[in-house]
Amino acid sequence: MRANLAKALRVKPGQRVRLDRWETDAPDGITKERARARTERVVAALPDWQYKLYIENRRALLIVLQAMDAGGKDGVIRRVMAALNPQGCRVTSFKAPSPLELSHDYLWRVHAAVPARGEIGIFNRSHYEDVLIVRVKNLVPQRVWSRRYDQINDFERMLTENDVTILKFFLHISKEEQRERLQARLDDPAKHWKADAADAEERKLWDEYQRAYEAALERCSTPWAPWHVVPADRKWYRDYAVSEIILEKLREMNPQFPPPKEHLRRIVIV
């Protein structure tokens, strides 16, 4: 298995990103069997670290998931996060903003969903939609969305300075893999709930979305909140990479149980 996977997949601050030069397939040297076995061990280890983070109650971990349609965000949440205790974990899916949300600045609803101390928060889509779909669909003028990269960086810096650790994952799939997954939604009755007539129209904007993602990855991969580009054509490798990086980060955070209260030493249960 590759050492320091987070570093290998991280977008360096200021790095130029061309997504057609980033791998979408699993790298050579790792098999499905080994990756799945490792993922099972990592996923089994996550609850202990979550428990320590929850009991320590001093810091939070925010996991941001972004991808093209059918990129695997739901799959990561289902396979990697399923073992976490819901008491200390919250998933937020950001869909089209409500009238109330539109009456505030675009980060208002995002800030309200940031995990509290002791919690792990998972964003299924995120504040980055405001430099992605908003840009591609021309929902606001360029002079508005172009300022948001710096605003997002400042927002994320503020969170990290207030004890929120941020992990951002772009699940990178190929255009052909997306076609196969979207077609599978149409062919399999059990997946019809995922299908949407708009999927075919959105797919026509593939190149525009790729450029929007490239800009977001370039402009918003910072030392305090780096982006990781995860090859996601193979679900087994995607799950391995994401789970491994999360475990690496929790180990780095190294949450601790608080010391026992001194007066408890004198209590005897009879």
Please write the tens of the pLDDT for every residue from 11-26. 999 999 999 999 999 9
pLDDT tens digits for 165-179? 999 999 999 999 999
Q: What is the mean pLDDT of residues 120-132?
A: 98
Q: What is the mean pLDDT of residues 233-249?
A: 98
All structural domains of the chain: 5-257 (3.40.50.300)
- Res 210: pLDDT: 98
Residues 6 or more apart from 115 whose CB is under 8 A from it?
60, 61, 62, 90, 121, 164
Question: How many other CB atoms are there within 10 angstroms of residue 181's CB atom?
Answer: 20
- Res 102: pLDDT: 96
pTM over 0.75: yes
pLDDT tens digits for 181-199? 999 999 999 999 989 888 9
Q: What is the mean pLDDT of the chain?
A: 95
Q: What is the mean pLDDT of residues 25-29?
A: 93
- Res 131: pLDDT: 98
- Res 16: pLDDT: 97
Query: Residue 265 — pLDDT band, cuts 50, 70, 90?
Result: confident
- Res 2: pLDDT: 53
